[in-house]
Each structure stands twice: as C-alpha cells, then as structure tokens.
C-alpha cells in the first residue's frame, strides 16, 4: 500500500471502526496454512485444548509467520504506531452447515486492556461469505464507548460467555465483511460485530490476531505477548518466544501455561466457564 492509500485506510478505520479487505497472503499461501492447521487438528491432541484454543501461533510456525506478516504490520503500524505486540490469536471456525454463530458484541468487554488502541486482524483461510457466515459489523459503533453486555452462554455461540451487547441493533445498517482466502479485515476493539451460521458446504475458518501497542497494560492479572515490530520500552507483557518447529514440546508447554493465564483473564468474575 502506498503512503496515500495507507492514510486513506487509517481515515476509513477511524470513521467506521473497520477496514476491509486487505490482501495479506496469496490464495496458495492461505491454502498451505489451512492444510498445516488441519493436519494438527486431525491429530486431535488432547492437551492442546478444544480447537487449539488461544494463541495457536505459539505452537505452529505458519501462524507465527502470519502474525509477523509485513503487509499486515504496515497497516497495523498506521493505526497504533510502530511498537506492536501480538496479544493473542484465536480461530473462529464454523464447520460446513453449522449452527454456530457469534452474537453482537464489543471485544473490549472482557479483555482487561487499559486502551482502545487494540486492532483485530481477521484472516480468512476459507471463503467467508454471507452464506458461510461472514463477520458482520455495525459501522461507527466503536465511537459509542463501552456498552453493557448480557452473558447468555447460549449453545452454539462461539463467544466465551455467549455475551450479547445491550443496545438497539440496526441490522439494516450491518455490513458483511466477505473475504476470499488470504484476505483480512481489521476491526476496532469497540466495534459492535457478530456473525450468523454457516450454510455453505465448506468450513468457514477465520484466524483472528489481536494487536496492541507496547504501552498497553493488562488490568486483570499477569499477561504475555509477542513483540512483532519495533521495541518494547515498557515490559508490561512477558515476552513469548516463537516455536522452533510445529508442536515443539517446549513451545507446547509455554502455550499451555499461556492459555491458563489467558483464561483466568477472560473468565475473571464469570459465573461459569463457557467456551
């Protein structure tokens, strides 16, 4: 992206709370990454936790590469500055013809971060369309500030507590962020978004990467992150090293410990544990 396009992208993001689409991988690279992930999924390694829960970039080299993707980081730098941490990653996978959905919510609700300078990159590993349950956003809602949420723990809801924002939802204003494999969307931590079920015959696989500036603080406990660009002059997050190879035993041990820490943050104060 040229300097001028980058400025236009940042202006769109500031106004709407999202930007889409951004091509970050070729279709072939996205397919290779998908294969690598699905090989590991097929092994159903119990200790990894359901669907390789949080931070799978700590154990799979293709995902470690993706969080450091040059095109992605150039865009993120234009939004939150040059010193960037990858706080966490998570797959949002809906199987073919799957009732799984994501209720309307703001990411900021349970993350414990002291800043709104948090950007999610949602990278498509398979076609994300209206039919397959693409992510939907309500433009401009990131400017409303933090809204209350109701915890539903509804079956098929992919969110940790099945949380739903308590606000009037203008469905007619929602935008479907349709993406081809290898394309990404970017969204603000306060933007109201969600998605419907997958009615297509392929899986809908979205890999989310949450980026924060190194100045961010975690208010709910000890936390860790990967420095992906620039310098960390703050040290608020313990550093997370990359895996030397896929499922490297030492990396798996670090991943499991990081998941435990991460869960204690995401479920702080929860009546029970959802997904």
Ligand X SMILES: O=C(O)CCC(=O)C(=O)O
* Interface with ligand X, residue 190, by CB under 6 A: no
Residues 94-113 touching ligand X, rule: CB under 6 A, are: 102, 107
- Those residues whose C-beta lies under 8 Å from the C-beta of residue 166, and which sit 6 or more positions away, are 147, 148, 149, 150
DSSP-derived 3-state class of residue 87: strand
Residue from the set 108, 208, 214, 224 that interacts with ligand X by CB under 6 A? 208
Among 13, 18, 19, 92, binds ligand X (CB under 6 A): 92
Q: Is residue 258 within 8 Å of residue 102, measured between CB atoms?
A: no
- 126 binds ligand X per the rule CB under 6 A: no
CB nearer to ligand X: pick between 64 and 98: 98
- Residues 9, 112: Cα–Cα separation, whole Å: 27
CA 171, CA 137: separation in Å to the nearest integer?
9
Q: How many CA atoms lie within 13 A of 90 on its CB side?
A: 20
According to CB under 6 A, which one of 83, 109, 120, 126 is a site residue for ligand X? 120
Site string for ligand X, 2-41 (x = CB under 6 A): ----------------------------------------
- Residue 122 interacts with ligand X (CB under 6 A): yes or no: yes
Judged on CB neighbours under 10 Å (0-12, 13-18, 19+), 272 is exposed
Is position 61 an interface residue for ligand X (rule: CB under 6 A)? Answer: no
Binding site for ligand X (CB under 6 A): 92, 102, 107, 120, 122, 135, 193, 195, 206, 208
């Amino acid at each position: 992206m040229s300097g001028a396009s980058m400025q236009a992208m940042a202006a769109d993001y500031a106004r709407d709370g999202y930007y889409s689409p951004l091509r970050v991988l070729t279709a072939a690279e996205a397919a290779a990454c998908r294969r690598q992930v699905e090989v590991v999924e097929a092994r159903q390694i119990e200790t990894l936790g359901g669907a390789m829960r949080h931070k799978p970039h700590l154990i799979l080299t293709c995902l470690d590469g993706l969080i450091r993707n040059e095109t992605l980081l150039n865009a993120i730098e234009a939004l939150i500055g040059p010193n960037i941490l990858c706080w966490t990653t998570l797959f949002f996978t809906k199987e073919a013809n799957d009732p799984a959905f994501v209720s309307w919510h703001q990411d900021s609700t349970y993350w414990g971060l002291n800043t709104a300078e948090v950007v999610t990159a949602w990278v498509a590993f398979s076609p994300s369309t209206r039919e397959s349950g693409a992510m939907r956003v309500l433009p401009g809602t990131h400017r409303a500030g933090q809204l209350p949420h109701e915890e539903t723990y509804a079956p098929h809801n992919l969110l940790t507590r099945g949380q739903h924002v308590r606000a009037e939802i203008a469905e007619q204003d929602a935008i479907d962020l349709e993406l081809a494999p290898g394309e990404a969307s970017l969204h603000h931590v306060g933007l109201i978004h969600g998605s419907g079920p997958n009615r297509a015959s392929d899986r809908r696989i979205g890999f989310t990467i949450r980026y924060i500036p190194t100045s961010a603080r975690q208010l709910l406990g000890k936390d860790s992150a990967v420095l992906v660009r620039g310098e960390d002059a703050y040290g608020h997050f313990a550093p997370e090293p990359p895996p030397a190879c896929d499922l490297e035993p030492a990396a798996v041990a670090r991943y499991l410990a990081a998941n435990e820490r991460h869960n204690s943050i995401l479920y702080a104060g929860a009546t029970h544990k959802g997904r």
